[in-house]
Structures are given as C-alpha cells and as structure tokens.
Amino acid sequence: MKFNPMAEPYKIKMVEPLKMTDRAYREKAMKEAGYNTFLLRSEDVYIDLLTDSGTNAMSENQWAGIMLGDEAYAGSKNYYHLEAAMHDCFGYKHLVPTHQGRGAENLVSQALIKAGQYVPGNMYFTTTRAHQELQGGIFVDVIVDEAHDPYNTNPFKGNVDLNKYEQLINKVGAKNIAYITIGVTVNLAGGQPVSMENLRTVYKLSQANGIKVVLDATRAMENAYLIQQREPGYKDKSVKEILREMCSCSDVATCSGKKDFHTNIGGFAACNDDDLAVSMRNMVVVYEGLQTYGGMAGRDMEAMARGMLEACQDHVMAHRVAQSEYLGNKLLAADIPIVRPVGGHGVFIDAKAFYPTVPQSQYVAQVLAADLYVHSGVRSMERGIVSAGRDAKTGEEHHPKLETIRLTIPRRVYTQSHFDVVADAIIELYQERDKARGLKMVYEPKYLRFFQARFEKI
Ligand SMILES: *Cc1c(COP(=O)(O)O)cnc(C)c1O
C-alpha cells in the first residue's frame, strides 16, 4: 500500500477544547478588535490560522525534554544539545541563541550593516527589513518577477533574480552592499521555495564580490522538502542532506525557532566566520542573555533541539506540505483565487481578485481577514498594504503587488475536518463577495503597523 502523507504521522494524546461562537458574538468581537485579527482574543477564535509561529504542537519527546531543563545561568547542558542538533541539521560552525528570530536579525544587522549600505533580499520580511532599516540599511528587492504574480506556477518563485542582483552590484558597488538575505522559503511570496541551483549561483556571485550570504532559515526544512519534490537530481536525497547542502551555500543564518523547529519560542543566529561570532556574542549579552541561553529557558532550548531533529525527517515534512496542499486544492477546485503553487506553510488568497469591488487603498486583504472571522470564526492574517507599511525615507505607503490573506497552518495542530470547515467558509464567503465593504485606518503605530493598527468600516 502506498503511504498517504495527508494521514497524520502521529496520534493525539491531549486535546485543547475549542469555544463555539455565533455570528453576532463574532461581529462584536471583530469590531472591538478594530477589524484587526491580531487584536482578537485567541479564545474567541474557532480555527486559528493566523500564523504558524509558535503555534506548533510539541511531541511527547519534546515535552519529556522540557522536564530535563538545566536552568543554570551559564553552560546549560541544553545549550550543548541545541548546538549539536544545529551542527547535525545545518552544519554551521557557531551558534548564538536568541529569544526568537528577530533577536537574531538584530544581532546580524548590527554586526554587518553600516548606515547607508544596501541590503538586497528575495522579497522583504517584516521584522527582517525593520532591523535592517533601524541600522540605516536600504532594502532592495531582488526576487524574480514571477514571485509578484499570484498565478505564475513556476516551482521556484522564491529565487533571486540574478540580473537584478548583478545590476545592483554594478550600480552601487559591492562595498556598499552589507550582505544579501535569502529567505527559504519566502513567506510573503506565499511560502515559495528557492532552488539549490539558484542558491549555488547566488553564493558564487556573492563570493566573487566579497558579499556575505545570510539565509533566513526559519522554514528551511520546508524549502529542502520542496527541492526534493521539485528540483531535478534531488528526489533520492533526504531532507537533511538537502538542508546541509543549502546551508553550505551561505555564510550566516538567522532562524526563528517558532516555525519549522516545532517549538513555541526561541531562535538563533549561526555562522562560520569566527570574527562575526565574536561580535554577535558581544552583543547577545546586551540584548538577549548570556551566550549559552540567549533569552531562552534551558527547557526551551531542549525542546528546540529535539524539535529540529524531528522536522528533518522526510515523512514529517511530507505531511506538513500535504496539509497545505489539501486546503489549497479544495479552494482551487472551487475557483477561489489563491497564490500558486500552494506554498509550504499555508495558503494565500489573492484578496484583490476575491473582492474586486474593494480598492487596495481601503485595505482589501484586511477586509477579507475580518469578514472570514465574522463568517466562520476562522482567523487569518493580512499580508498586503498594511503589512508592507511605509517607506522609511519618504513616509509614503508601500503598495505591494501581492495583496493577500494568509491561512497559515500550525504544525500538527488541526485535522482534515478542520481544513474542510475552512474551505467551506471561504467558498461561502466568495458567493457573497458583492457585500464587501472597505476599511479606513484610525490608529497607525510607528513600527510594524499591522500588529496593532485599528480600523473602522467605511
Ligand atoms: C517569523 C519569521 C521571522 C521572525 O521570527 P520571530 O521568531 O517571529 O521573531 C523572520 N523571518 C521569517 C521568514 C519569519 O517567518
């Protein structure tokens, strides 16, 4: 019998009951939350697809590890377990633990960016770009054009456009480029992977110009699995082998432990360069904690060490991606406009196509996320003009080509029936799309506005 990756490769030992609410209750809750799904109370949510960050279900082995936390201030044994797991999965020489991914982004940005330098990347990520800009860096998007087209089915829409990257080097000079960040997979492009061939070429070009390559390896296991599935020459290699090869095409990595590593908190930076490790360890004690815990409890480092090794197993990633594809394929079958191909960590709906009567200036993806919650209790996240924020220099709003809501799949949390409910809710909402009404922003925070902004109905 053929193995079905959609069938859970685990069984359920503990359950977390869900609260059932009605439409009137949700209408009030959404209004009180300023039409921002980040401001809802979690207990008012039925199926929570806001994010896959920190929302993972841990395994019995990870929970057992939690009981073995060595909470010594210095030299915790759990740090050494984490270091060994990082060596095994990623292969970098140095580990600098941090409280989560943005802590690592802060260390790397401070260590490597001089004000006025350019920082190319394959599409921006919110916290990554925020830290680069806080250091005076200028972000330049060098992702392939296909990434901005939701209906282009190129299997590697996360790739760096080598022409764009080379043109930038020629225009500003390699000395004025702090480093290049490569997200694997690219979150805001819809969880799209980067091919090994592209990673290899970018690394060669960067080395020839003395530019460091920083991998945002937050979802690197998913990227490795998608390379195995899609790139010629990789079908017989394991996820872990592919991951090691990906990392060998980079100098530094920043990681959020809250995504592919199956944990609820944590992160780290890793690198091969001894001097960079020294400078990050000098800073980690200022911003995070001692270099052997970096803001994490010993037990959390243990859970991350164990979760990382679990995530490197082929069948675990096969199930993860199968869940995304199941939801995506149900929506495609009903002609719902979603970003294609379906990404590793979730399904992204093209809000402009879903609600053609609501303009981008009225925050159409924000509207869709709010309506989906009111209709069904399903929580999603805006990934469009609100998330893109304003230009650091001119103060103008960025107008991203992709205006989406993200239905992000927490690892090992929901079952096939939950995804059926989500798909049915979206299909029903699409049938009522003429009723959609825009929003206006009534409170705008200075940084990362999408987290706390408030809206009112127009
Ligand atoms: C979540 C995330 C980060 C930031 O990590 P945190 O742990 O939330 O601080 C960075 N990059 C990507 C691609 C992410 O998804």
Confidence at residue 399, expressed as pLDDT on a 0 to 100 scale = 92
Rounded to whole angstroms, the Cα distance separating 255 from 301 reads: 13
Confidence at residue 2, expressed as pLDDT on a 0 to 100 scale = 84
- The beta strand positions in 157-241, using DSSP E, are 179-183, 212-216
449 as an active site residue: the answer is no
Cβ–ligand 1 distance for 185 under 6 Å, the answer: no
- pLDDT digits 0-9 by tens, 410-432: 999 999 999 999 999 999 999 99
* Superfamily holding 23-52+314-457: Aspartate Aminotransferase, domain 1 (3.90.1150.10)
Residues facing residue 213 across a β-bridge: 180
Rounded to whole angstroms, the Cα distance separating 210 from 312 reads: 31
- pLDDT digits 0-9 by tens, 224-235: 999 999 999 999
Cβ–ligand 1 distance for 109 under 6 Å, the answer: no
CA 20 to centroid of ligand 1, rounded, Å = 30
CA 127 to centroid of ligand 1, rounded, Å = 7
Cβ–ligand 1 distance for 128 under 6 Å, the answer: yes
Q: Which CATH number is 60-311 given?
A: 3.40.640.10
**And the tokens for 82?**
């984490």
* Selection from 254, 264, 221, 286 nearest residue 95 by Cα: 254
354 as an active site residue: the answer is no
Confidence at residue 318, expressed as pLDDT on a 0 to 100 scale = 97
Cβ–ligand 1 distance for 295 under 6 Å, the answer: no
268 as an active site residue: the answer is no
126 as an active site residue: the answer is yes
419 as an active site residue: the answer is no
Q: Of 219, 383, 411, 412, which is the active-site residue? A: 383
For the chain, the structural domain boundaries read: 23-52+314-457, 60-311
- pLDDT digits 0-9 by tens, 427-449: 999 999 999 999 999 999 988 99
Residues in the chain, pLDDT under 70 = none
CA 125 to centroid of ligand 1, rounded, Å = 8
Q: What SS3 state is found at 96?
A: strand
Mutation test of ligand 1: which of 38, 53, 408 has the most ligand atoms closer than 8 Å to its C-beta?
Answer: 53
**And the tokens for 342?**
């379906």
* Selection from 339, 355, 337 nearest residue 347 by Cα: 339
Please identify which residue in the block is written with the tokens 């350019």.
118
Cβ–ligand 1 distance for 258 under 6 Å, the answer: yes
Rounded to whole angstroms, the Cα distance separating 212 from 190 reads: 26
